[in-house]
Amino acid sequence: MKKILTTLAILSFTIVTGQNPFTQKSDNLKIKEEAKELAKEYDQQLGMTEDQLLQFEIKVEEYMINEKKIRDSNLNIKEKIKALKINLNKETSAMSNILTRIQYDLYKKIKPQYQSIDSVVVGEVKNVKN
């Protein structure tokens, strides 16, 4: 009986604290669509081949998912900003394996127009008197 109750307690805890799979699927689909749109915008400037475009899209999606994980994490503001910058820089570097040298140089030049680090939102700030 103890084993059954312990197992039920663990399962209940896992279910309650686990991520909602419906939300997770929805978020992933949204990110996939955003990555696809972003890749198309870059393609207008970079003139990628179909293979490059597909690889580019996958890479953008991967880093967008990483960004979401960082934003949803319990890191403090400074750590989040640092992690977001690292993520953005890693993404830029990874594109050198997909794009030609000329495309990559242009990509680095135009990237700030398409992708920058959005504000990191903090919880509500209470009125502080000086």
On whether residue 2 sits in a domain, the answer given is no
Pair of tokens at residue 7: 């197992």
On whether residue 44 sits in a domain, the answer given is yes
On whether residue 62 sits in a domain, the answer given is yes
In this prediction the pTM is 0.70
On whether residue 6 sits in a domain, the answer given is no
d(CA 21, CA 15): 11
On whether residue 129 sits in a domain, the answer given is no
CA angle 53, 89, 46 (to 5 degrees): 30
Give me the residue label for tokens 């890479």.
Answer: 59
On whether residue 124 sits in a domain, the answer given is no
7-56 confidence digits (pLDDT tens) = 444 544 444 444 444 445 667 899 999 999 999 999 999 999 999 999 99
